[in-house]
Amino acid sequence: INNQLATKIEIPEGITTVSESAFYGCNTLTEVLLPDSVTSIEQSAFQDCMGLTKITIPDSVTGIGAYAFCGCSSLTDITIPDGITAIEQSAFKGCSSLTEMTIPDSVTSIGYGAFGDCRGLSEITIPDGVTSIGVYAFENCTGLTSVTIGKGITNIRNYAFSNCTGLTD
């Protein structure tokens, strides 16, 4: 595949892992279809795919690596499956067009810079199972006006909501 020209990728059934940096920098990629056989999206798998607007992550996925969707600035919404327990470092950093994000109840930690620079997010609910919100987790989310933090939180790290200038609630 010429990674610089592909616009739509359909991963074949039977593939279990989207490996580290597999589609890194595929600027023309707009849509990815993942089969139910995929269980892991590794570090930087779709990093800097600036044209990516649509991806459905199947419920079979239990791991999303650091920087997996970092810099996917055209991505408008994404659903994280219920099997995910951690949102890794900078997993969605720079997804500036992301307007909706549902964090499932299975998540227990939100890593360093996980949603940094997601300026399109207006509200976020941190489920009760989350115990830790990492440093810079929501830094520069200037569109964020409302955050609901669950009852299980024990640690909100430095600068977790730094420069969230629109935060009112």
Q: Tens-of-pLDDT digits for all 169 residues of the chain? A: 445 567 999 999 999 999 999 999 999 999 999 999 999 999 999 999 999 998 989 999 999 999 999 999 999 988 899 999 999 999 999 999 999 888 999 999 999 999 999 999 999 999 999 999 999 999 999 999 999 999 999 999 999 999 999 998 7
**Can you tell me which residue has the tokens 């991963």?**
11
The residue among 95, 10, 96 whose CA lies nearest residue 58 is 10
CA–CA separation, 18 and 60 (whole Å): 13
- DSSP assignment of 78-122: EE--TT--EE-TTTTTT-TT--EEE--TT--EE-TTTTTT-TT--
